[in-house]
Structure 1
Amino acid sequence: MKNQPANITVLLALYKFYMQKIVIIGNGIAGITAARHIRKLSDHEITVISGETDHFFSRTALMYIYMGHMTYENTKPYEDWFWDKNNINLKRAWVKSIDFDDKKIKFESGETQMYDKLILATGSQSNKFGWPGQDLEGVQGLYSYQDLELMEKNTQNIDRAIILGGGLIGVEMAEMLHSRHITVTYLIREKHFWDNMLPKEEATLIDGHLYKHGIDLRQETELEEILDDGNGKVKAIKTKSGEVIECQFVGLTVGVHPNIDLVKESKVETDRGILVDEYLQTNIPDVYAIGDCAQLRNPPNHRRAIEAVWYAGRMMGETVARTVVGKKTEYKPGIWFNSAKFFDIEYQNYGTVLPQCPDDSSSFYWECDDHEKCMKIIYKKDSLEVQGVNLFGIRNRHEVWDKWLNEKRSLDYIIARLPEANFDPEFYKHWEGEIQEKFNEEFPEKSVEVRKKGFLEKIFG
């Protein structure tokens, strides 16, 4: 009996170690992946907090809800019963503040919740740059489910919309509005669409594709102000050149930034995002940050400090799950890749392809006669070692390019084996032969065997 208090103390300590309260703020891909993998690895108590929606949904599918291709229910990867079955608590609430000393979360409702370990997965926010009129009714960005609901309301029975900002969200919004036969004028301050990310050839190709779909693309055009109709609604925009364009909706799609409002004035160290080490831990013990809101203090040479892409959030979620359950794991994202869609053109990128080719590198570029398919490969001038590839209108296998880039393969090696990377189904035309012929013209001393046309290509061309 004398030892009972000590035994109880030990048991309580063991229980606390093995049954920790893990709280995740944010139910996007990063937060939910963390929750799922923590559950796979442990029996810890898990709570996911989100004020946006009750359940996790695919944020990249928001546009398809608006276009009528999907419903909100279709965008949820897991059935609603999945969370109870896997003993993951979901709490619909907005967080007001966090007491890091007492490990206590305070909600807007006045409720509180304790945690042992906290994972911040608060995502991104749409950028605004202080334009006059940017808070008028009918002016908005597109990131959250609430933004989608607002866009549904703001675009009812309108004739003309203005989109500002040449990025991926902007082209998605253009396609959304175009699907409802709304005239779209698209303002970008650059010479070409997304030319802060794409080389000139690819950016020009996308310009042409936007024109083809009836988008009124205005290059090198900047917004001066958004004009009020006198009742708090947008009626037009004025450009810096003085042109006034009437509209009833303005989409602000000039990028996003990490959503750090919750911790900006706290002890958590921030820069543009929440600063984390290689284990995704902040400067506060037992507090981690993942996904769009996280900024790596020391990113790998081939990656950026902030990467607002879904697969980076997924990898961070899986990595941090191992660390918080005691299997300390370093975040190693590997070779960069990305994919997107510009109306009908699919885009893939593997490795590093900068808008301006580095001095020690050169490029191999092929473009189809229809100006809707192209491939650009960046390689070192001295060794021909491939650094990265852009693909438009052609689908290649991620695992093949990842392997080639990790093995530091040369341009001629890859061109000779292009069919290995092809991802298009049997009834799609294959373009490897034309690409190989172009390579042989440019590099006759390293010519490769040209892929012969298959049976279907011989028949249908």
Structure 2
Amino acid sequence: MENIVIIGNGISGTTLARHIRKKSNSKIIIISSEAEFFFSRTALMYVFMGHMKFEHTQPYENDFWKKNNIELIHKSVTEVFPKERALLLSDNSTIRFDKLVIATGSKPNKFDWPGQDLNGVTGLYSKQDLDHLEKWAPTTERAVIIGGGLIGIELAEMLRSRNIEVTFLVRENSFWNGILPEGESQMINRHILEHHIDLRLNTNLTAILSDENGNAKAIVTDKNETIACQIVGLTAGVSPNIDFLKNSGIELGRGVKVNRFLETNIKDIFAIGDCAEQHEGIGLRRPIEAVWYTGRMMGEALAQTLTGNPTQYNPGHWFNSAKFLDIEYQTYGWVWAKPKDYEAQFYWEHQSGKKAIRISFHKETRVFLGINTFGIRMRHEFFDKILTDNQTVDYVIHHLAQANFDPEFFTAHEKEIQEQFITQFAGFQKIRS
């Protein structure tokens, strides 16, 4: 019987195991040192905020794995030996494999800051990070968060929910402005400040200071300012968790190099999820995508290949969603922070400063390229079809009512958006309303 070993029990590895089991009686082993059972990583913040218990983040009963004949090993892998088809575990035991899948996810970036390994310093990625925050929060008066992205704003919201003061260091001159165009970035800046978060733009961390017991007591910025704190959140992005593979002979870049079938350079060894790096990005996507749904899709595709139906990974049109405190964010297709030469952008922001839409389209052909929405829910299936059909921006503006998820929104704003589009792009095709 073929022995398939999966390193990592996140969304990628778990999806793979489940889908293999539907089609095959192969022996399946999942190895993870983080948590004994799969949990939804995106829900960690809600556990901390008291909206759910940790067990609610586990979509499968604990006996699900035994019932489906999937063996779970709660240890870490320290080395991989491809020629011997063997893994060395943290207790010096070994495991053999016929096929190996690396699904080890990400780890928070560290940039050799003095004090980055002190007690009180954490990312927001693992179950252990949540446990640390729970331990430290009751005695914390102020936290400092480093890095202005999605994880940083989640951590800020979590800490504010416990009435902990938060200082937020963002090295850019506006929040997440490598991804968001200026209008949306400025809107989120204002929203962060309204939530009594001390946002420091154009500010970098230079050191974390220790007390006599090895606990973080303050940070120092590149403006020579010292800020007292008891928790330091490192949320300046993530990197593939692949250090244990450095001597394996498996081809590595920033992540584990894979082709469209998610195969590495070594036969019968594969990689999926955050740790996998395409040789070339698919379409306009980045070679590494640390996104929940792409991890799930990689698991589904590889399960087909490992059960006799070779299937390329095809993630389809780009989309993503997140939440900036009280403002929900969705994006479909491509809307660049700085428009490409061929790209025109239409921007509408509600007078409340809490809702906005930005639509990108091709200047010459008027083909719709993408949309950002803030404070407004749109239908994924609508934009997926629009992008597949290469519909025009005029079609999208005219059919906004079909795109919206919340009818109350468009009773108030649909006409305003359409009229502003006509005004902003005077001389373009008139929109019939």
Please name the residue that 2:431 is paired with: 448
CA distance in 1, matches of 2:215, 2:407: 48
**Which residue of the other structure, out of 118, 132, 136, is the alignment partner of 2:114?**
132
Matches within 5 A, 1:245-284: 245-284=227-266
CA distance in 2, matches of 1:79, 1:213: 38
**Residue 230 in structure 1 maps to residue 208 in structure 2:** no
Is the Cα contact below 8 Å between 2:404 and 2:410 reproduced in 1?
A: no
- Residue 444 of structure 1 deviates from its aligned partner by 4.9
Matches within 5 A, 1:319-398: 319-398=301-380
- Residue 324 of structure 1 deviates from its aligned partner by 1.1
- Residue 425 of structure 1 deviates from its aligned partner by 6.0
**Residue 39 in structure 1 maps to residue 21 in structure 2:** yes
CA distance in 2, matches of 1:329, 1:427: 41
SS at 1:400's partner residue?
A: helix
Deviates more, 1:240-249 or 1:393-402: 240-249
Is the Cα contact below 8 Å between 2:121 and 2:234 reproduced in 1?
A: yes
**Residue 420 in structure 1 maps to residue 402 in structure 2:** yes
Q: Gaps spanning 5+ residues in structure 1: where?
A: 1-18, 451-461
SS at 1:156's partner residue?
A: helix
**Residue 163 in structure 1 maps to residue 145 in structure 2:** yes
Is the Cα contact below 8 Å between 1:439 and 1:447 reproduced in 2?
A: no
Aligned residues: 432
Q: Look up the equivalent residue of 1:271 and give its one-letter code.
A: G
**Which residue of the other structure, out of 282, 291, 297, is the alignment partner of 1:315?**
297
Per-residue CA shift, 1:3-26, capped at 9, x if unaligned?
xxxxxxxxxxxxxxxx31111110
Q: Look up the equivalent residue of 1:122 and give its one-letter code.
A: T
CA distance in 2, matches of 1:398, 1:203: 23
The structure number with the bigger radius of gyration is 1
Deviates more, 1:147-156 or 1:398-407: 147-156
Please name the residue that 2:198 is paired with: 216
Q: Look up the equivalent residue of 1:364 and give its one-letter code.
A: F
**Residue 303 in structure 1 maps to residue 289 in structure 2:** no
Q: TM-score, normalised by structure 1?
A: 0.91
CA distance in 1, matches of 2:417, 2:63: 49
Please name the residue that 1:20 is paired with: 2
- Residue 432 of structure 1 deviates from its aligned partner by 2.3
Q: Look up the equivalent residue of 2:430 and give its one-letter code.
A: S
Q: Gaps spanning 5+ residues in structure 2: where?
A: none
Please name the residue that 2:93 is paired with: 111
Per-residue CA shift, 1:191-223, capped at 9, x if unaligned?
111111111111001111111111110110111
Please name the residue that 1:83 is paired with: 65
Per-residue CA shift, 1:54-110, capped at 9, x if unaligned?
110000000111111111110011111221222222121111212211211221112
CA distance in 2, matches of 1:304, 1:361: 19
CA distance in 1, matches of 2:38, 2:286: 26
Is the Cα contact below 8 Å between 1:103 and 1:114 reproduced in 2?
A: yes
Please name the residue that 2:388 is paired with: 406
CA distance in 1, matches of 2:407, 2:94: 53
**Residue 64 in structure 1 maps to residue 36 in structure 2:** no
Is the Cα contact below 8 Å between 1:345 and 1:372 reproduced in 2?
A: yes
Is the Cα contact below 8 Å between 1:53 and 1:145 reproduced in 2?
A: yes
SS at 1:307's partner residue?
A: coil
Please name the residue that 1:194 is paired with: 176
SS at 2:14's partner residue?
A: helix
Please name the residue that 2:123 is paired with: 141
Q: In the superposition, relative to structure 1, how do residues 426 and 242 fare at CA in structure 2: closer, same or farther (>3 Å)?
A: closer
Per-residue CA shift, 1:340-366, capped at 9, x if unaligned?
001110000111111100112110000
- Residue 391 of structure 1 deviates from its aligned partner by 0.6
Q: Look up the equivalent residue of 1:261 and give its one-letter code.
A: D
Q: Look up the equivalent residue of 1:406 and give its one-letter code.
A: T
Please name the residue that 1:292 is paired with: 274
Is the Cα contact below 8 Å between 2:251 and 2:257 reproduced in 1?
A: yes
Please name the residue that 1:5 is paired with: none
Q: In the superposition, relative to structure 1, how do residues 239 and 427 fare at CA in structure 2: closer, same or farther (>3 Å)?
A: closer
CA distance in 1, matches of 2:409, 2:423: 28
Per-residue CA shift, 1:207-259, capped at 9, x if unaligned?
11111111110110111211222332222111111111111111111010001
CA distance in 2, matches of 1:245, 1:91: 42
